[in-house]
Amino acid sequence: MDKKLNVYVERCPQNHPCPSVKVCPVGALSQVGNNAPTVDHKKCIKCGKCSNFCPKRALVLE
């Protein structure tokens, strides 16, 4: 079973730069302004670093 990184926008406060963007080792997360981050699924290696780092659990590897 292949996992996928999902962004739960309703959990993201969207009022600051996302700290998880800098944690991604392959640059699969990006953020425009203070909007919720977006995932480039072609780059994502499903390591879980961003989801473990997200304080609001808006990023979930499932």
pTM for this predicted structure: 0.90
Residuewise pLDDT in 10s, the chain (62 residues):
689 999 999 999 999 999 999 999 999 999 999 999 999 999 999 999 999 999 999 999 99
> Which residues are CB-contacts of 47 (< 8 A; sequence separation ≥ 6)?
25
> Which residues are CB-contacts of 7 (< 8 A; sequence separation ≥ 6)?
36, 37, 38, 39, 58, 59
Single out the residue of 61, 52, 60 nearest to residue 10, CA to CA.
Answer: 60
Tell me the CATH architecture of domain 5-61: 2-Layer Sandwich (3.30)
Query: Which residues is 61 bridged to in the sheet?
Result: 5
What residue segments make up the domains of the chain, in order of their start?
Answer: 5-61
